């Protein structure tokens, strides 16, 4: 059996980190957590070692985390047994409709998932999304541009959503350096009556 190259790469990376503690939840999530529902079902897309998912667990939600790395999933499940984890390749995922109250998408860029987020959330459900932008190439020119957002891309793609928070610029990253990021916290509207049919986020 040939293992997916992304799974191999991420498993190797997480195995190197095995002795270290999980990183804290992302600052954006800490900042908006009080606005999120305290019950219901959340999905953490590309969950990693589970810190973000755990914050939602502690808030009272049931949480399922998807990740391609079984090393990360095993770490998360051992640390937070109440967490549901699934090891899968998100490039092949079809999310169920009208199912989630919250979706987290931190530092994993797959634009093909974006229209699925609208359908997978219940009306009024929350999407919290953050990843790096092309400006990051000024600091790290070797990054793969296909993992980086274009300027203004999130704002445009999710223009039909009820946006609670939107930011694009530099912020402190978890490794103590700076990152160029785009952040968005938004709700799937209860009614799409006034929404443009052209929106890329759904
Ligand atoms: C930069 S980490 C982000 C982890 C976490 N969301 C966070 O905020 O720290 C990217 C994650 O995406 C996962 N990943 C990469 N490709 C994937 C794929 N095709 N399907 C599912 N997960 C994937 C990796 O295993 C890794 O845990």
pLDDT at 32 over 70: yes
The predicted-structure confidence for 102-138, as pLDDT tens digits, reads as follows 999 999 999 999 999 999 999 999 999 999 999 999 9
At residue 191, the pLDDT reads 78
Spacing, Cα 169 to ligand 1 middle (Å): 22
How far is residue 184's CA from residue 1's CA, in Å, rounded to a whole number?
A: 39
pLDDT at 27 over 90: yes
pLDDT at 8 over 50: yes
Higher pLDDT, 193 or 30: 30
Nearest to 63 by CA among 81, 78, 89, 90: 81
Mean of pLDDT over the chain: 93
Instruction: State the burial class of residue 72 (Cβ atoms within 10 Å of its Cβ: 0-12, 13-18, 19+).
Output: buried
DSSP state of 176: S
90 lines ligand 1 (CB under 6 A): yes
At residue 162, the pLDDT reads 97
Specify whether the backbone of 50 is left (phi greater than 0), alpha (psi in -120 to 50) or beta. left
At residue 197, the pLDDT reads 46
Residue with tokens 């959330």: 121
Spacing, Cα 47 to ligand 1 middle (Å): 6
Q: How far, in Å, are 3, 101, 102 from residue 123 at the CA level?
A: 37, 8, 11
174 lines ligand 1 (CB under 6 A): no
**Ligand 1 atom 10 nearest Cα:** 108
128 lines ligand 1 (CB under 6 A): no
Point out the ligand 1 atom lying closest to the alpha carbon of residue 91.
Answer: 19
């Amino acid at each position: 059996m040939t293992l997916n190259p992304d799974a191999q790469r991420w498993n190797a990376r997480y195995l190197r980190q095995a002795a270290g503690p999980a990183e804290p939840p992302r600052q954006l999530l800490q900042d908006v957590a009080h606005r999120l529902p305290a019950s219901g079902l959340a999905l953490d897309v590309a969950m990693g070692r589970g810190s973000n998912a755990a914050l939602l667990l502690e808030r009272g939600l049931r949480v399922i985390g998807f990740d391609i790395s079984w090393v990360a999933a095993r770490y998360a499940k051992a640390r937070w047994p109440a967490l549901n984890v699934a090891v899968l390749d998100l490039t092949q995922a079809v999310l169920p409709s009208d199912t989630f109250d919250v979706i987290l998408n931190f530092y994993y860029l797959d634009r093909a998932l974006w229209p699925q987020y609208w359908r997978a959330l219940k009306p009024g459900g929350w999407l919290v999304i953050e990843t790096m932008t092309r400006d990051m190439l000024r600091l790290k020119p070797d990054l793969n541009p296909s993992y980086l957002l274009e300027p203004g891309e999130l704002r445009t793609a999710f223009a039909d959503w009820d946006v609670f928070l939107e930011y694009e610029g530099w912020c402190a990253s978890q490794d103590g350096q700076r990152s160029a990021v785009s952040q968005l916290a938004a709700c799937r509207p209860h009614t799409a009556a006034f929404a443009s049919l052209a929106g890329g986020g759904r």
